């Protein structure tokens, strides 16, 4: 009897230790493991049959929506679907995840650093598909914004590993930026900088210059004035073998309002072209109100990469710009 009792206790101990090991599988030395995943990659945890139906269509519609301002259609996130039973081990360490499950009530809750760090997950529950679809329609905009903040911080973290310090930006423009060391100065003038990085089949670029305060006002003509200014600067400062570096005329750019280093800024996304040369690509333009220095500072990123996806190149440029600090 005593031997039987000891055997039962031993089995229970083994089970307990096994469960404990399973519960802490995402931890290393008592701390959460490093999250994994490419930039702008979203793991979607949902049953296979739901992914193939109207619920999956809704997820793709909102989280796979087209990125504004790109010449070719590219989604906000590259999504990877996996059923709940596959959401284990390293899969649970995805930096971004969206989990869909049937529950007792419609609810969206945040799973922040639950399995790894940094990590942002959302769990959406509902009694049926219609409830979950409704929640996605109502909450996706805010969720996407939070996902993008996490990805921006992750990109900036990667940039910090190899930063190129450019003292002239502080001396001449009164700003600092965390710029990857792969970038080089293509043109430097008193109040104008053009920085470039070579990539496969092209290059990524940053232009920095200033305007008198009020050059770009907030009114019904804002977008037209931004285009006029960027076209005049592009023609003067960006050399081409022939043609002019201007805003593509066929499609109106997207205009947003944002904040950079606690300063109001216009954010414009659109397509540039070299007139009559059949060359084009995306740009993002920021006009920042620098009231203390009585000016508007302009930072623009643009990409030349024919026949290549450009979403992540543009995302890098945006992440760089968002490191700006005014001295």
Residue pLDDT, tens place only, 156-203: 999 999 998 899 999 999 999 999 999 999 999 999 999 999 998 899
Average pLDDT over residues 117-126: 97
What is the pLDDT at residue 8? 43
320, 62, 283, 78: which is closest to 178 by C-alpha? 320
pLDDT of 56 over the 70 cut: yes
What is the pLDDT at residue 200? 87
What is the pLDDT at residue 29? 56
How confident is residue 27, by pLDDT bands cut at 50, 70 and 90?
Answer: low
CATH number among 3.60.20.10, 3.40.1590.10, 3.40.1000.10, 3.40.50.720, domain 162-326: 3.40.1000.10
How confident is residue 15, by pLDDT bands cut at 50, 70 and 90?
Answer: very low
pLDDT of 208 over the 70 cut: yes
287 neighbors 225 (Cβ within 8 angstroms)? no
Average pLDDT over residues 92-111: 95
pLDDT of 87 over the 90 cut: yes
Domain 25-159 has CATH 3.30.70: no
- Looking at the chain, list the stretches that DSSP marks H as alpha helix, in order from N- to C-terminal side: 2-23, 48-51, 54-63, 129-160, 167-168, 222-237, 311-321
- In the predicted model, what is the mean pLDDT of the chain? 91
**SS3 of residue 50 by DSSP:** helix
Q: Domain boundaries in the chain?
A: 25-159, 162-326
Structure pTM? 0.88
How confident is residue 45, by pLDDT bands cut at 50, 70 and 90?
Answer: very high
Length of the chain: 327
């Amino acid at each position: 009897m005593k031997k039987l009792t000891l055997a039962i206790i031993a089995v229970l101990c083994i089970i307990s230790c096994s469960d404990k090991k399973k519960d802490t599988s995402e931890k290393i030395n008592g701390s959460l493991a490093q999250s994994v995943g490419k930039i702008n990659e979203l793991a979607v945890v949902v049953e296979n049959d739901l992914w193939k139906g109207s619920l999956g269509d809704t997820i793709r519609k909102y989280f796979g929506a087209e990125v504004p301002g790109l010449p070719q259609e590219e989604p906000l996130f590259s999504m990877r679907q996996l059923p709940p039973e596959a959401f284990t081990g390293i899969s649970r360490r995805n930096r971004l995840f969206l989990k869909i499950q049937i529950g007792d009530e419609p609810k969206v809750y945040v799973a922040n650093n639950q399995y790894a760090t940094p990590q942002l997950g959302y769990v959406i529950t509902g009694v049926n598909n219609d409830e979950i679809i409704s929640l996605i329609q109502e909450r996706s905009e805010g969720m996407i914004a939070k996902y993008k903040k996490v990805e921006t911080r992750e990109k900036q973290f990667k940039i910090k590993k190899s930063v190129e310090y450019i003292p002239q930006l502080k001396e001449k423009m009164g700003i600092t930026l965390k710029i990857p060391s792969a970038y080089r100065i293509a043109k430097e003038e008193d109040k104008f900088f053009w920085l470039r990085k070579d990539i496969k089949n092209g290059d990524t670029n940053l232009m920095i210059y200033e305007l008198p305060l009020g050059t770009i006002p907030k009114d019904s003509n804002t977008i037209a004035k931004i285009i006029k200014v960027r076209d005049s600067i592009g023609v003067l400062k960006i050399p081409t073998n022939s043609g002019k570096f201007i805003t593509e005329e066929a499609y109106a750019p997207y205009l947003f309002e944002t904040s950079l280093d606690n300063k109001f800024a216009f954010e414009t996304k659109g397509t540039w072209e070299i007139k009559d040369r059949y060359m084009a690509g995306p740009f993002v333009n920021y006009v920042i109100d620098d009231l203390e220095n009585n000016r508007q500072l302009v930072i623009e990123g643009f990409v030349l990469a024919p026949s290549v996806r450009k979403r992540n190149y543009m995302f890098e440029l945006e992440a760089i710009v968002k490191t700006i600090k005014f001295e």
